[in-house]
Amino acid sequence: MRVAIVGAGISGLTGAYRLLQEGHQVTVFERAPTAGGLGADFTFQGASIERFYHCMIPSDAPLLGLLEELGLLERVYWREVSMGFMVDGQMYPFNRAVDLLRFSPLPLPDRIRIGLGALYARFASEEALETVPALEWLARVFGKRTTALLYRPLLEAKFGAEYAAGVPASWYVHRFRREKASGREIKGYIAGGYEVITRHLLVHIHRMGGQVRFNQPVERLWVHPNGTVSVDTATETRLFDAVLLAVPYPVALRLLRNSPGLADLLRLPEIPHVGVVNLVLVLKRSLIPHYWMPVVRSGVRFQGIVQSTHVRRTEELGGHHIVYLMNYLPSSDERLHLGDGLLMERYWQDLCRLFPDLRQEDVADMRLFRTPFVEPAYTLGYAAVKPPTMLIPGVLYLSTPAQVYPDPPSWNAMVGQIEKVARQIAEDLHFKAQRGLREPYEAVRSA
């Protein structure tokens, strides 16, 4: 049967790959000129560099399983990395027990309490914390001083001050366990960059007869009484048996509102999102000794530094180092729309204040990227209200980062989700074909 997929990120491409394996005809519509979504890249001296930083962890079973199937698993390599913390412009390691004991911004009893709190977080019930505010729980477990110095700034940096108070404690506990499950921080990367994954999926899709149509934003959908769907772009209208929306949730919501009758029929909730501004630096020397380092109370306009070449081999980059300065903002924040030149100048000035020995001649390349939708601003009880993946059985489906909670919207989480959705679509289309297209849209509308 004919399936349209809106979006050529990792979800859309993996969904196309799986549905083609089931024998369906698949067309992917992508508004951008290239595939990859948040995994899109730019090139530096022939090397691919992600616009937004990515890595893997050893427990990423869905992504690693897909890479094995694509013949790419042997290209994945692993490294143990470290975390730092910058407070008041001073950099501290933040990994071992001895690092906590030497963390002078907090009194010794609070440092000891961090270690005990981390141990407690390994065994806390996520379900019981779904309706408990993270800041309230963190203050109870780690103490008010630690929460005020470290955790509140981090939550506000991630979600904005207006949303931080509503983030459930289950979000923190789940993320902590995912990152610290083994006690050692192990990160993985694929030789050549994430572009290799995107390119291999595109090759397989084309070999199996699928189509990926770039520069083709979908403007509206028309669901017909017989269960088929017309997909409108600026240049054409095509008919399909089912449609999968694999774009950020606010983008999908906007498309559904442009589609006659669908917004009233589905009544999906508004979910505020956060976006990110990333300044990517290609440096001729290493900047920090850690893979990632939150920056708090230091008078700068970014919230953290990631030096991805503590995972990625510098040999692929001619010996250069890749550094990301990230700034997470509510998607409505005007700073997401400031000019590139202004943001680059501000971030560079801030970075030089933190690292006075940094010089312009240390920079081989500098790029700025942004996206308004990275993940939802989670609210208390979010697990109970996250959007469904099946909107109209056998007709319309949704797969977005807003649905993978409590997992963070990594490529692994998105692959795991889209594979479940693709199986559901295949089962529903099989049933739909057997029933001879018995007007599922009318049945849902009547119900």
Per-residue pLDDT tens over the stretch 131-179:
999 999 999 999 999 999 999 988 988 888 889 999 999 999 998 887 7
Number of H helices, E strands in the chain: 16, 20
- Listed in sequence order, the DSSP H helices in 143-185 are 144-146, 152-159, 161-164, 169-180
pLDDT band at 183 (very low <50, low <70, confident <90, very high): low
Cα–Cα distances in angstroms (integers) from residue 162 to residues 152, 377, 447, in the given order? 12, 10, 38
C-beta separation of 387 from 402 below 8 A: yes
Per-residue pLDDT tens over the stretch 248-299:
999 999 999 999 989 888 999 999 999 999 999 999 999 999 999 999 989 9
Residue 445 has pLDDT above 50, yes or no: no
Query: Between 108-121 and 134-142, two packed helices, what is the crossing angle to 10 degrees?
Result: 120
What's the N-to-C CA distance of the chain in angstroms?
26
Residue 356 has pLDDT above 70, yes or no: yes
Per-residue confidence (pLDDT) for residue 177, from 0 to 100: 84
Residue 439 has pLDDT above 70, yes or no: no
Lowest-pLDDT range of 55-64, 85-94, 308-317, 428-437? 428-437
Cβ count within 10 A of residue 393: 18
Per-residue confidence (pLDDT) for residue 436, from 0 to 100: 67
pLDDT, the chain, mean: 93
